[in-house]
Structure 1
Amino acid sequence: MAVTVAQVLALPELRLRMVAGDAGLGNEVRWVHVSETVDPTPWLRGGELLLTTGMRITDPEEFGPYLHRLADTGLAGLGFGVGLDHPDVPEPLRAAAEERGLPLLEIPVDAPYVAISEGVSKLLAAERYDTIARAFDAQQTLTAAALEHGRGGIVTAISRAVDGWAVLTDTAATVVRAWPPEAGERLPALLPDLMRTRERGIRASSAVVTPRESIAIHTLGARGRMRGFLVAGVPGRASDYSRMVLAGGVALLSLEMERSQAASRQLRRLRSDTLLQLLRGAIAPSVAEQHVTGWELDPTALRVATYLCDASRGDPLGDRVNELMSEANLPGAVVVQAAGRQARVTVLTDGSDRTARALARLASVRPTVALGLGDVVPVERVSHSHRAASHAAEVGQAERRAVTRFDDLEALQMLFHAQSPQALAGFVRRVLGPLQQHDGGRDGTLLATLRAFLAHNGHWNETAAELGIHRHTLRARIERIERITGRDLASAYERMELWLALLADGAADPDDTRPAPDRT
């Protein structure tokens, strides 16, 4: 608790007497200051107990303005020494102190000012020790809460320790835990302050002070990586005790979130391996159902989403997708695959529109990324949703669309719903087999040229610009493709067959892709 004027007045050895302004007995005393100047306000910061004899004030009418000036600085109280220049406390000074509610204490002529300073210093030292002891006890409570209940326990313990409220959020300012529960409703009004704090970096903090409470905003994280925010409110003005408690809470939450991230990385690796086997059909449906249930997914309503991007650019898309899943608290699993120069990030998650929107936002802000969303299916048809998502992503990449839903591709739905994976693989071999043999696989020069040419609807200039080659070189390659495949690229029908074969080849056979190295 803070040292107040009432506590100083209660020290018997000082023999102070209250003469006016008892409404301010609860004022907090920060320090003792002695001044005999007519206007000491330039040297005051607020919270002082000012001691004076008034020797420089010769006109009694000046005592009223003198006290009003002091009160305007936030002075805690005024000690007036009597028996030297003034036998009693001047009446104008009493009246002004009573009017402003500023404690006015009479100091006996034989009371040394240094004794008052020493008395207040002892009270402040005791208060500081008490604050540290209370904060230490609170830290032990927070630590126990962290060990027993994790992040949620820490937030609850912080709220109770400061007699206020506390909210833990992710980096997007989405509430992760709030105590009391209704404290989360405070976040919308504080969103601009959170965003400003986030812009200042990992160690930033800020405060919002109102007449009724003080609100502190702290970033959470370590190793230069922001993990979220702690937002807490305390009644009135924040004390040293509440600041110590919050500092300890920030440290514990940051450590807890880093520990959770490390555990999450290991869990993601295990889930990624399992998801890869699930997409390949190497897991029985009954076992697959157990896995997806453990991933907090409904086995009757699953969706596969596929991101495509240029792997040669070194874009850590897999890391960002995992971060998105964690920040937005999305259930599911992620696997990162590489096929030549193209990176493919596959997500198995729930079929909700909320999740689809969250995944789409990432693609919308990454111009080199195309997202395909598959059908919502039961667990035994996950491979179907996988193929659908891959087809949609291929179409979106070709047409430079950020997000493509397989539901919107009616022609492809008719084709791929009617065909088995084996039939599609046969179709690909018949149409692209000779070219793949000539190119030595899926990612040779001629196949890349064909894909770009079809994506640009046969426009020579745009295709040449994308490939970075001369038009004559492009024309020579197209002629070679026509000879090898036996197809005429001037024919709309044969271009359509080649395009469908490229789409099917890019998605129908997940066994031909390999997991990319896990950089997390």
Structure 2
Amino acid sequence: MRLRALLDTDALGLRLLGGEDELDRSVRGVMTTDLRDPSRYLSGGELVLTGLAWRRDADDSEPFVRILAQAGVAALAAGEAELGDVPEDLVLACARHRLPLFAVHESVAFATITEHVVRQVSGERAGDLAAVVDRHRRMMTSGPAGGGPDVVLDLLGSDLDLRAWVLSPAGRLIAGSKVTGPELPPETCAKLAAEHLAAARTGRRGPHRMVLGGSRYSLFPIRSSGRSPQAARDVRETVLSDWLLAVEADAGDWPEERLDLLQGVTQLIAVERDRRDAARTVRRRLAQEVLELVQTGAAPAEIAARLRVAAPVLLPGLGAAPHWQVVVARVEWEGGAVEGGPVAQSLLEEVLVDPLATGPEPSDRIAVAHTGDEAIALVPLPAVSTEHDGSESGLLADALLQTVREPLSAGLNDDGRLTLGVSAAVHSAEGLRGALEEARHARRVAAARPGRVCAAGHQELASHVLLLPFVPDDVRRAFTARLLDPLKDYDQRHRAELIPTLEAFLECDGSWTRCATRLHLHVNTLRYRVGRIEQLTGRDLSRLEDKLDFFLALRMS
């Protein structure tokens, strides 16, 4: 606002004492002080209010005014309650430094002036920012993206001093202002997302407010730009896929203008979200095509050809053909009124992104299809050395849900469940059907556990589980291949005879002397081969459980 506007408001009780030529100066804020040197608290553009307690005699006015002028304040307003009329020495000092001076009537409280100026300044800045937001929205809806959500969050930080972040429903940081300080810690993101999802399940309208770590936050839902709040028949259809805007402020006492501005910001960010969803269409179609081939028993060569098409889309620039993992998810609601497949698909696309990775780009490397109430993800893994060392690669079930369990449980509330199964990594199209069945079986293992959010991985399908009659043949074959293929591959390359050595070692009940005699080997040679078997498979042949796994795998191969 301009200084001139202060004189047009009778309720402020201001009388101009000097500086008529400077009334077009802009006022950016208000500061009340009686310090002799308030320079450390001034940033320029303020209207300074003072009760003159700093003035002991006429010589004090000159240095005080000089400090204000050097700091670039807009004007000085002196109260008449303490000394009556404003001293002439202060009027002259302000004239020398071309600093506009107002007298404040004793009946007017400084708080009244402060509230008026702050309201006017904030309203004008919000209006200017709203125009910028609207311009960005038009640009993003009619042409290429205008920089993503970071741009408008930077505007909130620079123009309204609001720290704001965009979060996924699983608590992943998608975007944040670069001008408002450090990013939110992952644990804070998870708690904010959990609060938002819990509030959304109750049907309360946003913004939702909460206090966390001594800071107040307001949470605004970000819905698809083409969908109104009433468009979904049931909140459960979208609660696990909607983004949210978290603002470090209490929006409870905000004027309508500022609330409308934040609503415009969420609409602008929703455009970016819709672009991301549109970009996923190709990856979803690829996953659907591969899934149909696998489930209909297509030839491995046909599946491999489709995987070769998918690989450069999911991992552009990758030199070698990747390995693959399959992740199966199921979202089930009590009563069955909401179809779980699309919900699980959107959720799995989010959960499979590293929770510590910011921005929407990492999701470009995930292909998820859904069939019925089940979502199935095809996850590419960069192919590493062909020399298998027995270590686990790819996604692990427990780690997958560790950081997202809290917010997802809040979104599922008391009537929903998420169960998830993860296969081992497979190296070819031949193993993909087994990986799918393995992931499905692991999900059923997770479903048998208590809790709203449960996961299980292939590591939990131990040999005693494979003895059960309901385990699919494909799961048995996948177990056998995962355990023995590294040994078979090594034998083919090095003629090391690890498989015959393993068979003989188990038949001799782990006796080093008997086995070495049977194979006509020195005991040290036998120990080397057994050590190599353990290294390649990650197993320990001194453990009964691992011996049983090898025994069953050899019997089923």
TM range (shorter): 0.3 to 0.5
TM-score, normalised to structure 2's length? 0.45
Larger radius of gyration: 1
TM-score normalized by the length of structure 1? 0.47
